[in-house]
Structure 1
Amino acid sequence: MRFRPTFALITVAALALAACSGGPVKRVSEPAASIQQLTVGNDGNWDVELRLRNYSSMPMRFDAVSLAMKVGDEAAGTLSTQPGVSIGPESADVVKVRLQPSSAARIVVADSLAGGRSLFYELEGTISATPEEKKQRSFDVKSRNSLNQAPGLPGVLR
């Protein structure tokens, strides 16, 4: 059998083209939400800095958020906003949401702040987001986490 350079060159070129043709895989993953900071205002209302996380490999525009919030075992209210922010692939951004919490939730937060204890919270609801060049989708979100008092900042949990 004789070596044929033309055949070898064509084979190498075909393999090189096949390797280049795929490009990056674009996948849409469920986003996540968590509370970055909760500030208790003088009027008793809360300013919540909600961290929205895009785990997709493409940018997504976050159109609407509706998350029921619980602190301890008490329902606090619903974090509802239409942020209209675009978040890059595998990145996060923060949006501010004002919440008038239930009386029971106010007591739980006040107790946590007064005692210097962690505040456990839960978020459950939906996030509507539009992946790049695709149709809007609604994602179910559920998360549990905790916040601690920010040193030197009264009424602030992070």
Structure 2
Amino acid sequence: MKALRPTPLIRWLAALVVVGLLAACASGPVRRVSEPSARIQQLTVLADGSWSVELRIENFSSIPMRFDSLDIDVQLDGHEAGALRASPALTIGPESADVTSLQLQPSTAAKLAVADALAGRGSIGYSLEGSVTATPDEERQREFEIERSSALSPAPGLPGVLR
């Protein structure tokens, strides 16, 4: 009985498949930069009337990003509250989030709106509008626009805290 030998065409096709598979493995993961997001995770009214704002920054990119600065105007219940301006230099991994704590000296109208929400145990709407400057891993610095509307409610058992 005669042994079957692969023809030169079959050898050539097999080598092409192997080279194609190796090339596919060498390309690595996709590097996607997506718009980040920001939201208020917690707002705490301090004894002096100022606020401590826990701002959650979300990185939806497939690569780490360093958040160099932020300039975000805050409105509560339709009242200008003030601006969150900081240079957190916070590096957030791919598809992750982190929180930075910021101080805010709110306007009188915003203070009253928050006091009403806390006293009535009701929610209060807020909106954020501004920008964050971030540097994607191994790329140039970019500015991203932030626009968000949501609501905060009193945290049970934590006086002066909205979440």
Query: Which band: TM-score by shorter chain?
Result: over 0.9
Cα displacement string for residues 87-134 of structure 1 (whole angstroms, at most 9, x for unaligned residues): 000000000000000000000000000111111100000000000111
Distance 1:101 1:21 in 2: 53
| Equivalence for 1:17 | 22
Larger Rg: 2
Residue 80 in structure 1 maps to residue 85 in structure 2: yes
In the TM superposition, what is the alpha-carbon distance from 1:17 to its structure 2 partner?
Answer: 1.8
Distance 1:113 1:41 in 2: 13
Matches within 5 A, 1:1-150: 3-4=6-7, 5-150=10-155
Amino acid at match of 2:122: R
TM-score, length of structure 1 as denominator length: 0.95
Distance 1:8 1:130 in 2: 44
Amino acid at match of 1:51: R
In the TM superposition, what is the alpha-carbon distance from 1:3 to its structure 2 partner?
Answer: 4.6
Q: Which runs of 5+ in 1 are unaligned?
A: none
Distance 1:109 1:89 in 2: 34
Q: Which runs of 5+ in 2 are unaligned?
A: none
Distance 2:123 2:60 in 1: 27
Cα displacement string for residues 13-42 of structure 1 (whole angstroms, at most 9, x for unaligned residues): 122123213211101111100000000001
Of 145, 151, 158, the match for 2:156 = 151
